[in-house]
């Protein structure tokens, strides 16, 4: 009987595994295929792309879409601006969020629930776009890089995750032991807490970097000088121009040039996605192990 039960369970397990792997494989294909389609479409002839012939491999290999983008000097300037904004945003975010999260995790902080309540309150209610613009204007940050970085320097969600991480990772006994050895709170934070917080620091850096790299709305609202435009805003301008372009020659619309621009519209769009996503895709593998560990630890206890 035991042997038959083992055989039956083994058979059921195999059926379950087959169904489970089949479902997971289908989900994986559904998620990955659009990404794969974007990649092969960016290297395919625009005629084949527009006619729907590109399905599983490139048709009429071409780099025209990338050539159009990379020959544009504004794209390179946008890359440099986005890198600058991303680096500064990460630095400012970590400088503000990590100490604040640690302070809010301490039970001996007077009024910590009050501060936490108003931090969470901002996740649901805000002043709106016009008051935010007026505030940035009164601070003389319009048309400066700080208009992009300062308003989004602290996220309530980041603050909650960091606070939870410290609550579940840094025990009170560790601080008490350090104080017995003559360690001040500042030294304890800098020399003990920060080195132990590499996972959550990596997570916050990744969150902040991805958010800033993909952001264009703040730049669209607060920046007027095109020399300060980040990559996403430059690419948006190129995409809008490729969709709405109309070439006029001697006061008349040139249908051949318009047809050519429309032909390359989809190709440029796919190339834009690859160009803008490549830095994040390159950086993410180096932070993946910290990302998973930090998020899991930071979500155990609220």
**Greater pLDDT, 165 or 236:** 165
Q: What is the pLDDT of residues 250-298, one digit of tens each?
A: 444 555 555 556 666 777 778 878 888 888 777 777 777 766 665 565 5
pLDDT at 151: 86
Angle in degrees, CA 276, 278, 280, rounded to 5: 95
> Looking at the predicted structure, is the pLDDT value of residue 91 above 90?
yes
pLDDT at 250: 43
**Domain spans of the chain, in order of start:** 2-42, 64-298
Q: Average pLDDT, stretch 222-239?
A: 82
Assigned CATH class of 64-298: mainly alpha
Paired with 249 in beta bridges are: 252
**Greater pLDDT, 128 or 136:** 136
pLDDT at 302: 45
Q: Average pLDDT, stretch 88-93?
A: 92
Q: Which tokens go with 262?
A: 């429309």
Q: What is the pLDDT of residues 52-71, one digit of tens each?
A: 777 778 777 778 778 877 77
Rg of the chain on CA atoms, in Å: 26
Q: Which tokens go with 96?
A: 């503000």
Q: What is the pLDDT of residues 182-202, one digit of tens each?
A: 888 888 888 888 888 888 888
The Cβ of residue 140 has, within 10 Å, a number of other Cβ atoms equal to 10
pLDDT at 264: 67
Please, which pLDDT band fits residue 92 given cuts at 50, 70 and 90? very high
**Greater pLDDT, 5 or 78:** 78
pLDDT at 6: 53
Paired with 253 in beta bridges are: 248
Tell me how far apart the alpha carbons of residues 189 and 204 are, in angstroms, rounded to a whole number. 17
Query: In sequence order, which residues have a C-beta less than 8 Å from that of residue 94 and are 6 or more positions away?
Result: 201, 204, 205, 208
> Looking at the predicted structure, is the pLDDT value of residue 43 above 60?
yes
Please, which pLDDT band fits residue 94 given cuts at 50, 70 and 90? very high
Burial of 285 (0-12, 13-18, 19+ CB in 10 A): exposed
Contact 219, 228 (CB under 8 A): yes
Q: Which tokens go with 282?
A: 């390159």
The Cβ of residue 66 has, within 10 Å, a number of other Cβ atoms equal to 18
DSSP string, 93-145: HHHHHHHHHHHHH-TTSTTHHHHHHHHHHHHH----HHHHHHHHHHTT-TTST
Contact 88, 145 (CB under 8 A): yes
Q: Average pLDDT, stretch 12-30?
A: 87
Paired with 248 in beta bridges are: 253
**Mean pLDDT across the chain, nearest whole number?**
79
């Amino acid at each position: 009987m035991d042997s038959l039960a083992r055989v039956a369970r083994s058979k059921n397990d195999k059926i379950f595994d087959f169904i489970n792997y089949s479902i997971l494989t289908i989900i994986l294909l559904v998620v990955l295929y659009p990404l794969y389609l974007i990649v092969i479409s960016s290297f395919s002839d625009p005629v084949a792309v527009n006619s729907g012939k590109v399905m599983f491999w490139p048709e009429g290999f071409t780099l025209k879409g990338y050539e159009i983008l990379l020959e544009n000097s504004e794209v390179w300037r946008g890359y440099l601006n986005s890198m600058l904004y991303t680096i500064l945003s990460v630095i400012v975010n970590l400088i503000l969020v990590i100490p604040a999260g640690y302070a809010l995790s301490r039970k001996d902080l007077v009024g910590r629930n009050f501060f936490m309540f108003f931090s969470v309150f901002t996740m649901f209610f805000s002043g709106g776009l016009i008051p935010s613009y007026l505030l940035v204007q009164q601070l003389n940050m319009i048309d400066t890089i700080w208009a992009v970085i300062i308003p989004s320097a602290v996220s309530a969600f980041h603050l909650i995750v960091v606070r939870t991480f410290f609550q579940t990772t840094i025990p009170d006994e560790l601080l008490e032991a350090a104080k017995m050895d003559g360690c001040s709170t500042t030294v304890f934070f800098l020399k003990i807490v920060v080195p132990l917080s590499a996972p959550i620091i990596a997570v916050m850096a990744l969150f902040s970097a991805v958010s800033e790299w993909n952001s264009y709305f703040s730049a669209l609202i607060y920046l007027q000088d095109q020399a300060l435009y980040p990559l996403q805003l430059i690419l948006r301008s190129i995409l809008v121009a490729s969709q709405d372009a109309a070439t006029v020659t001697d006061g008349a619309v040139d249908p051949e040039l318009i047809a050519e621009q429309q032909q390359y519209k989809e190709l440029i769009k796919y190339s834009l996605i690859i160009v803008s996503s490549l830095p994040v895709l390159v950086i993410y593998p180096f932070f993946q192990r910290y990302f998973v560990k930090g998020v899991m630890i930071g979500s155990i206890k609220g």
